[in-house]
Amino acid sequence: MNVSISAVREYLVDLQQRITSTVALVDGGQFVVDKWLKPRGERLQGRGITQILEDGAVFERAGCGFSHVRGPALPPSATQHRPELAGAPFEAMGVSLVFHPRNPYVPTVHMNVRMIAAKPAGKEPVCWFGGGMDLTPYYGFEEDCIHFHRTCKNALDPFGIDKYPRFKQWCDEYFYLKHRDEQRGIGGVFYDDFSELGFDGSFAMTTSVGDAFLDAYLPIVDRRKNTPYGERERSFQLYRRGRYVEFNLVWDRGTHFGLQSGGRTESILLSMPPLVSWAYGRKTRKGAPEDELYRKFLVRREWV
């Protein structure tokens, strides 16, 4: 099992580097590399690499983090579907990213791939995988949504044609702001507590999702990054970013896992946008492009 866990770590470190080096070329800026260590004696111990690009030409804030941590007991956010593992020591590793673009016509994107290994006393380790990616536009374009979902589907189909529809529905249900009765974006795919293909098969599926990210997102960036915009579009972008912050702080299991387990707060919150706004009771004009986002894109629908 240690050999297998090492292979997961090697893949994740390489994935982070491939993504950030490619995105740096697209933006023209550089990622700051922050290697961190949580030493023995703390509630959670481990190490990681946080890479962050801020105030770039294309991305206002792009964060991509790798972490590999160990802890004495799984937090509640990790065992709500596996109560038999409550309190077990664990090892967790993953790559998580959120990219906030400067241009309101470029959507925000999130991607995460991870593995958790619980180590109950006197028993074999129990490993499972999770991950996915989802898109949050401010101004919707059908071709972008279709491309993003088709790329996700192509990554999953080799592992069973049931995977995309299952994980697409899971994503729609997960990235939902219950307190707003509103979808966060146009979804994508999401899965958690996944081990049904065995360790090797589940890992292979997760690598396929991670490897598909750049193909899913960068063509959309290229199409939209030079679209002219003004104060109206910028104001709406900042307002909608508020929904992103609300979801991550109120509902996101990954954020809760990191904070509950004593993780590194600065790295856990790399998903936060640099600028955001809230407005009381803001309404959109019927027929306006902003209204179209709510009517056509922030709804659960089939894209492929």
Q: What is the pLDDT of residues 36-45, one digit of tens each?
A: 887 655 566 7
Q: By C-alpha distance, which of 23, 168, 42 is closest to 100?
A: 23
What was the pLDDT predicted at 2? 61
- CATH architecture under which domain 2-297 falls: 3-Layer(aba) Sandwich (3.40)
pTM strictly above 0.85: yes
- Cα separation, 5 vs 23, whole angstroms: 27
- Cα separation, 275 vs 177, whole angstroms: 20
Q: Which among 110, 147, 149, 256 is annotated as catalytic? A: 110
Least trusted range by pLDDT, from 114-123, 221-230, 295-304 = 114-123
User: How does pLDDT run across 56-72, given as a tens digit for each residue?
Assistant: 999 999 999 999 988 77
Which two tokens mark 35? 């290697």
Least trusted range by pLDDT, from 32-36, 79-83, 248-252 = 79-83
What was the pLDDT predicted at 75? 67
What was the pLDDT predicted at 121? 73
Q: Is 81 annotated in the active site?
A: no
Percent of the chain whose pLDDT exceeds 70: 92
User: How does pLDDT run across 148-157, given as a tens digit for each residue?
Assistant: 999 999 999 9
81: which DSSP letter?
Answer: T
